[in-house]
Structure 1
Amino acid sequence: MTTTKALLIGQRRRLALTMVGGFAVLVALTLAVAIAAELADIQTAAAVTDRLVPLLVFYAPAPIAAAGAYARCGGPACLAVGVVPAFVFAALVVVGTVFGVPGVGGGNAPLGGVTMSFALVGLSGAFVGYCAGVTAALLADLAGIGGGDGEGANGEDAGGRQEG
């Protein structure tokens, strides 16, 4: 698989799914702990989650997308990392509203607008991270230290056979 195709479409599907799914689980657990800490009035846990939630929701998609691009997970997976926090947030609000969890319902803010704002912020960060990861992967390939696409010099595959 050529480097361009690996960077755009991806060649490591399992790693890409693990990256997106793992990030979704991490965001969901952090938001759930933040909600539980707030409801239980646990000051230490609430203080930690008050700093951790914005870090995960707004800042983490860029470096995760960069690492995914460098690992050749593909553009769709790297950009999906950016919208994960928005979907997790929307799902928790819907579940909280359905089950009547205090302080989790939709309130006065329209859920669609808040979710779209989160998605746009995360998607823009993931796009910047993806571009940085692609640049790093291409520079590493140019320097001869990348080799993530399984090809050697002169179009040879990993076994030394000429591709055809």
Structure 2
Amino acid sequence: LEKEDLTGNVSYDADNHQKMVMYRQDKVLGIADTIPAPEVYGADDGLLVIGWGSTYGAIRSAVEKPAEPGQPVAHLHLRHIWPFPKGLAKIFARYDQILVPELNMGQLAKMLQSEYPEFRFQTYDKVKGKPFTAFELREKITAMLEVVR
């Protein structure tokens, strides 16, 4: 059941249905043109920590006050996750490592990996019903940066 492309009348035609599904998909993807590029807080290289939703506070605290002064770490917080804002690939390319802490089983990291397969997204999942603490994230950030050294 679908509306007919030109008239808006009810249509059961399979080809029309395909056309209208593609039309709606293009319309949704076009929203990316109106989404402002996300701001990156912190270093211009090193480790990028990507978050969305309620992870903001813990990530920002961990990046603002790293475990070791001078650690090359930055925070990018997504406000729109579908479609992703344009320009993310250019941001990701500046960093050696990308960490995605999530309070689930890594759904955002999976979406990022499917859209940007040229980058590796390191997941850090927590499903204990409690938010991340800045301390937990600082420990993870420090451990990841030590591997690079």
Q: Which TM-score band (shorter chain)?
A: under 0.3
- Taking structure 1 as the reference length, the TM-score comes to 0.23
Higher normalized contact order (CA 8 Å, seq sep 6+, divided by chain length)? 1
Higher helix share: 1
